[in-house]
Structure 1
Amino acid sequence: MAEILVVGASIAGQTLAYWLARHGMRATLVERAPGLRTGGNGVDLRDQATEVAEQMGIMPRVRAAAADVRGIKFVDAADRAVARMNMSRNGEIEIMRGDLVALLHEVTAPEVEYLFGDSVGSMEEDAGGVTVSFEAGTTRRFDLVVGADGLHSSVRRMAFGPEDGLLRHMGHYFAFANADSALGEDRWVTMYNQPGKMAGLYRSGNHAQAKAYFIFRSEPLAYDHRDVEQQRTLLKEAFGHDTSWRVSELLEGALADPDFYFDALSQARLPSWSKGRVALVGDAAYCASPASGAGAELAVVGAYRLAEELAGASDHRVAFRRYEESHRELVDRKQRIGPNVRMMVPKNHLGMWARNAFATSMGLLSRGS
């Protein structure tokens, strides 16, 4: 029986571990955090991702927990709606990331060994497997290692080298955090723009907790992606002087939120998603950035395909190659995100006006409240 270490207990990692176990392989899942990371924004399941979730038996509960957001409302400084965009799409379900992670854990945990509060310190590969030294001090042997540990993957760094050259900066940074649930319109995403910046509110119909969102244009910034206080400072520098709309109120709440999250809008672009006995899945391999709206879809489908190929091939090299061949076209397509970011964060006032006028003329937006 193959022994496989999966690093990262998020959407990709847990989906992969589930299907490895279903195919008779022994999966161990290690997660740096002391427990499940249950925060996060809304994520979309669509097309084959919903088919995979159906096979896992979680789709009825996914539908029950759906975010039920109708669309996006753009407002001016006086909180007057200047345009609305309907977001409902047939066959697509939005669910909060934390809810999906919890559902995946429920169906995966009975068959998979979880190691919380630990991570990989080093890996040594030889012809027969990979010797993994964990940060907690233990050493274990695995046939394969799969990094499902996100955009700043430590597994990718160990196997492929530094992330410079592997990540493509998309000219923006974003943050999200919990917000006062009394703010914003229920079942709508409310967005307020200043040139090169956006502050917003997300109000799910099925969740009491609102979310605050921030995006700002910037060239690459030098900071530690694990230093949350440094990230809070960067967000404060970007929005701290803006007193219009509800920006100050949202910023104050976000900076105080222990679940505050900040990162660059970036894409992972790797020529190969495997090296030797190490492979990558999800954002670690092919993050399309939150602007794509495809992160969960790529994670679920990619994890399913990787498990299927490992189950169907006697040689991991063949399985890894087939996994890439079967998934690369979808990744390439989802990484072509078009004008999404430019629509959400116009560069100047003229761009804001043109966005609303053009989208209205095309029937994408409706004026007024």
Structure 2
Amino acid sequence: MRVLISGAGMAGLSAGITLGALGNHVTIVERAGHLRVNGSPIDIRGDALGIAGRMGILDGIRRHQVTMTARTRFVDADGNVVAELPADEVGDSGDDIEIPREDLAHVLHAALDPATSLIFGESIEELHDAGDDVAVTFRSGREDRFDLVVGADGMHSLTRRLVFGPERDYLRHLGFYIALTNLPAEHDGDPGNPILNWPGHMIGITRYRDVALGVLNFRSGWIDYDYHDLEAQKRILLDAFAGHDEWQVPGILDAVRDDPELYFDSVSQIHMPVWHRGRVVLLGDAAHCASGLSGRGTSLAVTGAWFLAEALRTHPADLAAASRDYENNQRPYVERAQATAGPGGDLVVPATQEELDARNARLRAMAGHSRPGR
């Protein structure tokens, strides 16, 4: 079977591994000119760990493990620690693996079958499901036909829009925006990950190995902007944090201004009744984004890629039955992940000063009870 995967993120690369292992002729197209590796470390949890083992990538993942979340602490305007974040507050089971995004991308990329074709700087422009195959026109003007198209192109999936309709029909905004920016080298080396809050806002520094990132969150209703317009994103972000010069806020905002690859997006989920239509199936955030607040997006990418491949192996001549099996097996994981996202925003970005003070007091009390002899 000739398979086209749109998107070389965690879902797309995972599907490249699992679908290639079935003997399919797999092509992956990625709109960017390189692997998408910017962002903070991500978690692999629960059953996704066992599936990663069956995919042959677990040892590679373990070699690149970091422990970033365990060092998170909340600070005041002078940088003094006011509370620390216990691992169980972010759903860490103790078996979870945290890995830098770039390391996981390279582990997945290295595990692709040599026959798999990965094309950068290319994306789907149009597609037409003719019933017995899918005719695809690419942005480059090239045309081709495939037996199956997998849309693994993220929350703002073009594949989803072309086949299922506009994003607004499926997106649920959770009331937050998030940004990540690279910080200069002088921020490296501190073992902690401090976070400063004021009502409705969070700004902090995340460190792992020799990397330092500025992390920014703020509460807001839906903002209508072009998510391809970097300067518009920077204006929104700088306006949201204007008027604050405490702690290291000015330096982080300077990094925002200078960052050519700033990550900025809404904290939202994708909810769809079905993830397939004809010979097109959606995977990962394109199908069911749970948002970063769930901490389970990468795990969903791994389980989804595995369940899709297993369904196709079980029903090699019946794509409709395979698609239904894939959805039936994946949906319980998605529902759990999406449900866990809600409390995360209140923990990280309390809406009021009263809620902020209450959170800090609760975390301090938890830390006190966990000390030896208490």
| Both proteins in one fold, TM over 0.5 | yes
Query: For residues 353 and 347 of structure 1, what CA distance do their matches in structure 2 show?
Result: 11
Change (3 A) 1:184 1:238: farther
Check whether the contact 1:86–1:364 (CA below 8 A) recurs between aligned residues.
Answer: no
Tell whether 2:43 aligns with 1:63.
no
Q: Of the candidates 129, 137, 142, which is equivalent to residue 133 of structure 2? A: 129
Query: For residues 138 and 240 of structure 1, what CA distance do their matches in structure 2 show?
Result: 46
Tell whether 2:332 aligns with 1:329.
yes
Q: Of the candidates 335, 343, 346, which is equivalent to residue 342 of structure 1? A: 346
Deviates more, 1:46-55 or 1:28-37: 46-55
Alignment map for 1:67-216 (pairs within 5 Å): 67-69=66-68, 70-87=70-87, 89-108=93-112, 110-183=114-187, 186-204=190-208, 207-216=209-218
The residue that corresponds to 1:40 in the other structure is 39
1:189 Cα offset (Å): 2.3
Check whether the contact 2:86–2:367 (CA below 8 A) recurs between aligned residues.
Answer: no
Deviations along 1:50-109, one digit per CA (max 9) or x if unpaired, are 122222332223222112222310000010000112326421010111110111011115
1:79 alignment partner, SS class = coil
Deviates more, 1:311-320 or 1:353-362: 353-362
2:231 alignment partner, SS class = helix
Change (3 A) 1:73 1:94: same
Query: For residues 17 and 311 of structure 1, what CA distance do their matches in structure 2 show?
Result: 15
1:361 Cα offset (Å): 3.2
Query: For residues 351 and 343 of structure 1, what CA distance do their matches in structure 2 show?
Result: 9
The residue that corresponds to 2:265 in the other structure is 263
2:364 alignment partner, SS class = helix
Deviates more, 1:12-21 or 1:100-109: 100-109
1:241 alignment partner, SS class = coil
Query: For residues 364 and 157 of structure 1, what CA distance do their matches in structure 2 show?
Result: 50
1:257 Cα offset (Å): 1.6
Query: For residues 115 and 55 of structure 2, what CA distance do their matches in structure 1 show?
Result: 13
Check whether the contact 2:20–2:113 (CA below 8 A) recurs between aligned residues.
Answer: no
Check whether the contact 1:151–1:268 (CA below 8 A) recurs between aligned residues.
Answer: yes
1:285 Cα offset (Å): 0.5
User: Which residue identity does 2:302 align to in structure 1?
Assistant: V
Deviations along 1:222-263, one digit per CA (max 9) or x if unpaired, are 101111111011111111321111111111112212221000
Q: Of the candidates 221, 228, 233, which is equivalent to residue 223 of structure 2? A: 221
Change (3 A) 1:264 1:366: farther
Check whether the contact 2:270–2:290 (CA below 8 A) recurs between aligned residues.
Answer: yes
2:298 alignment partner, SS class = helix
User: Which residue identity does 2:276 align to in structure 1?
Assistant: S
The residue that corresponds to 1:15 in the other structure is 14
1:277 Cα offset (Å): 1.0
**Long gaps (5+) in structure 1:** none
Change (3 A) 1:290 1:219: same
Deviates more, 1:80-89 or 1:157-166: 80-89
Tell whether 2:304 aligns with 1:305.
no
Q: Which has the higher helix share?
A: 2
The residue that corresponds to 1:320 in the other structure is 323
Change (3 A) 1:283 1:365: farther
The residue that corresponds to 1:273 in the other structure is 275
User: Which residue identity does 2:327 align to in structure 1?
Assistant: E
Identity, in percent, stands at 40
Check whether the contact 2:188–2:210 (CA below 8 A) recurs between aligned residues.
Answer: no
Deviations along 1:331-366, one digit per CA (max 9) or x if unpaired, are 001101241110100111111101111233345998
Check whether the contact 1:18–1:111 (CA below 8 A) recurs between aligned residues.
Answer: no
User: Which residue identity does 1:10 align to in structure 2?
Assistant: G
Q: Of the candidates 229, 232, 241, which is equivalent to residue 230 of structure 1? A: 232
Query: For residues 25 and 205 of structure 2, what CA distance do their matches in structure 1 show?
Result: 42
Change (3 A) 1:5 1:248: same
1:30 alignment partner, SS class = strand
The residue that corresponds to 1:6 in the other structure is 5
1:272 alignment partner, SS class = coil
1:203 alignment partner, SS class = strand
Check whether the contact 1:75–1:191 (CA below 8 A) recurs between aligned residues.
Answer: yes
Q: CA RMSD in A?
A: 1.7
1:115 Cα offset (Å): 1.4
User: Which residue identity does 2:129 align to in structure 1?
Assistant: E
Deviations along 1:167-222, one digit per CA (max 9) or x if unpaired, are 00000100001113433774432110011000011112xx2011110000001001
Query: For residues 306 and 224 of structure 1, what CA distance do their matches in structure 2 show?
Result: 32
Check whether the contact 1:224–1:230 (CA below 8 A) recurs between aligned residues.
Answer: yes
User: Which residue identity does 2:321 align to in structure 1?
Assistant: V
